Amino acid sequence: MFHALALLAAVAAGVTSSPVVTIRREGSPGITELTTGIAISSHHVITLNAFAAGPSVPLVEVDGQYLEPDTVYSSEGLGLAILVFDGRPFTSYASPAGSLPESGDLLTLAGQGVGGLVSIGGRVMRIYEDGAVLVSAPRMDGLMGAGAFDSDDELVGLVNGVITTRLESTPAGSAEHLAILPSPSWSVWADLVMAGRWASSTPFGVTATACSSEDADERPSGVLIVAVDDGSTACRCGLRPGDLVVSLDGERIYNPETMRGLLLSAGDSLDAVVWFHGNSRTIKLAPLR
Amino acid sequence: MNCRDALRLMDSVMDGTAGPEQEQVLHFHLAGCQACKRAMQMNRDISRLCREMPRPEPPSDLESRIRARLAALPAEVHAEHRRRNRVAIALPFVAALLIVLGLTLGSRPGTTAVDAAEAVRKVAVAAQGAAKYTVTTPPLAAYARPASLISF
Amino acid sequence: MAVRLVRGRRREPDPRSDAELMIALCKGDDQSFTEIIRRFQDPVYSLLIRMLGNEDEAEELLQVTFCRVHRYREHYDTSRPLITWVLTIASNLAKKEWRRRSRWLQIPLDNVTLTSPMQTAPHYDAGRRELKASLEEAIDKLPPHYREPFLLREDQQLTYEEISEVLGIRIGTVKSRINRARALLREALSEAWERWK
């Protein structure tokens, strides 16, 4: 069994545990799907939403046993899910990096491949218009949903796809990069899920969506406010439908889940830079309670 | 300035890395914010208590123990690599194995990425003589921009 | 077991700078090593004991640290502060020990409120001693990657740049970790602090 091999190699290498875990699901009958999860606490595992959703229960492998999570929290907006377990089965876990990596940084991508753990190095190329981190790395089995770690062993993010960009300079005319959903986009959400503080007593009063732009000069990427409830906090703060929230307290945001998380965890009002038809203004958003 | 920024600035002021204008900005905030004022007082007290905490005493015969240890070591090897900073290109805590059953896809011009991924998606694994079952991993999909609609 | 050093012990403090001591050591001056041990044993031991939590391991790694200082004396860059180089060695040793024992599993990441020890130790006198004891316990409960930069700042009084050098992380990361450590400590000590005030 490939797991035995991995364990043997791990013991031989002197490393007995890793925050990269295997998630196993039954797909169609006879097909077992293996994907990657990253332990972010002794009893939380984060993974791409696609791997945890659906009728089949995702099981996480710990010491040769398969554990079923107690609860699964998923965010459609971020495309992530957090599996919560009884007890504290994970002996090793990673902490999300507090800041974006810089162009040129070397990351380690680690994921669950068919044959076992796969781990390669990748270099950060740039930050994409919608906040994704583009990494140049060879395509390999097991990298979808893989964790990207920096030199401090912190979790920079999760691989959630491949982007092909057009480049006149290369003979192929295009370059392929792995896209990483960086931790600053989801760490606030993850912290709230782990602390169990996800509910607010009064709603903020907006309906919003992620809105990314191809051309940053024409229009920035951000969180598009689609509807504002009359008399709500959002309305009182000055948000209107069509507003594009670009940053909160100086940090660029690209996803409504991030905005919600920041509002929930704020101690005081947040400065929001809001873009509307070529004009930008700054308003104060009251925190969610 | 809001509390989140104030809490961050507090660290800089305490640790002496903030400029005089920044200190003033913080003081204005503290004058009007009880919560942050309390936090600053706590920070200061914690810092002072840390400095007053009893320092554990190393053993008195430390030097002789060290020298005995040094004497017992084999002859030094001077051909060590010089390491100024922690070189961390090696794999941090992932078991350093690269068991990829020939599934490496190099960048071959002309190969559509998605096709190639599909082609090697299914690998049949015989499980110790038991009935064959198919193990798959999700292929690297084209990046899809998140476009969810949520109300909160 | 303890071999008594016959070499004469200097009563006056050695006036040489850290760099001069290291240069002398490289040239074969053995007495300078005595001084180096004397100067740095306290900060190194302090860091090790707070990172590892027990005396035996801290003493063991304390010896190994100075052995390495001696062994790799040629590798020391005299333009950098000696304290950061010595602490880097100690910190890396402690980190390896943490990983080997997976000790960090005992501290759950989502434990936003560190339990106050006051609920379990009613016999402490109210006031300063209570707060100090709570502080030590609260620091011990900090996850190691927050605890270490915090200790280097408060215990060793290193600058952000020096901490960045010792731990091999970016200055921004140093700042955010210290910020987080302080926030966690404020939460843990809030009750005890109120009582003490």
Do A69 and A6 sit in the same domain of this protein?
yes
Structural domain spans, chain B: 3-52
Q: Which residues pair with A60 in a beta bridge?
A: A23, A67
The 10s digit of each residue's pLDDT in A21-58 is 999 988 777 788 889 999 998 899 999 988 887 777 88
A127, two tokens: 């930050």
Question: Do A73 and A131 have their domain in common?
Answer: no
pTM of the model: 0.52
Q: Hey, are the CB atoms on B55 and C42 less than 8 Å from each other?
A: yes
User: For residue A240, is it within any domain?
Assistant: yes
Q: In the prediction, which pLDDT does C150 show?
A: 94
- What was the pLDDT predicted at B128? 33
CA distance A139 to B113: 9
Q: What is the mean pLDDT of residues C77-81?
A: 86
Task: Nearest chain C residue to A195 by CA: give it.
Answer: C110
Domain limit, last residue, from A53, A84, A115: A84
Question: How many domains are contained in chain A?
Answer: 3
Task: Answer yes or no: are the C-beta atoms of A132 and A183 closer than 8 Å.
Answer: no
Q: Cβ A268–B101 below 8 Å, yes or no?
A: no
Question: What pLDDT does residue B26 have?
Answer: 92
Does A143 share its domain with A216?
Answer: no
| CATH number of the domain within which A271 lies | 2.30.42.10
pLDDT at position A228 over 90:
yes
In terms of CA atoms, which chain C residue is nearest residue A90?
C105
- B103·A141 Cβ contact <8 A: yes
Q: Dump pLDDT digits (tens) for C121-180.
A: 333 344 566 677 788 888 888 877 788 999 999 988 899 999 988 887 778 778 888 988
What distance in Å separates residue A11's CA from the closest CA in chain C?
Answer: 11
Whether the CB of B90 is below 8 Å from some CB of chain C: the reply is no
- Position A83 pLDDT exceeds 80: yes
Give residue A212's pLDDT. 81
Which residues in chain C have their CB less than 8 angstroms from residue A40's CB?
A: 109
Claim to verify: residue A181 and residue A205 sit in the same structural domain = no
pLDDT at B14 over 70: yes
| Of the partner residues C58, C131, C175, the one whose CB lies closest to the CB of residue B49 | C131
CA distance B150 to chain C (A): 26
Domains detected in chain C: 17-105 (1.10.1740.10), 107-197 (1.10.10.10)
CATH code, domain with A78: 2.40.10.10
Which residues 67-106 on chain C approach chain B with CB closer than 8 angstroms? Answer: 67, 70-72, 74-75, 77, 88, 92, 99
Helix (H, G, I), strand (E, B) or coil at C102: coil
Which one of A54, A84, A114 terminates a domain? A84
* Chain A interface includes C109 (CB < 8 A): yes
For chain C, percent of residues with pLDDT exceeding 70: 77
> Are the CB atoms for A96 and A190 separated by under 8 Å?
yes
Q: What is the C-alpha separation between C18 and C27, in angstroms, rounded?
A: 14
> Is the same domain home to A166 and A243?
no
Q: Does B63 touch chain A (CB under 8 A)?
A: no
pLDDT-derived band at C107 (thresholds 50, 70, 90) equals: very low
Instruction: Tell me the pLDDT band of A147, cut-offs 50, 70 and 90.
Output: very high
Do A159 and A112 belong together in one domain? yes
Domain region containing A218: 199-285
Length of chain C: 197
Q: Are residues A172 and A226 in the same domain?
A: no
Selected residue of B38, B44, B49, B89 to mutate for chain C interface (largest C Cβ count, 10 A): B49
Of the pLDDT bands very low, low, confident and very high (cuts 50, 70, 90), residue B125 is very low
Greater confidence (C191 vs A147) lies with A147
**Confidence at C35, pLDDT banded by 50, 70, 90:** very high
Q: Would you give the DSSP letter of residue A139? A: B
Rounded to a whole number of angstroms, the distance from the CA of A57 to the nearest CA of chain C is 24
Query: Which run of H or of E encompasses A181?
Result: strand A174-182
Q: Which helix (H) or strand (E) segment is A61 a member of?
A: strand A59-62
Which of helix, strand or coil describes residue A50? helix
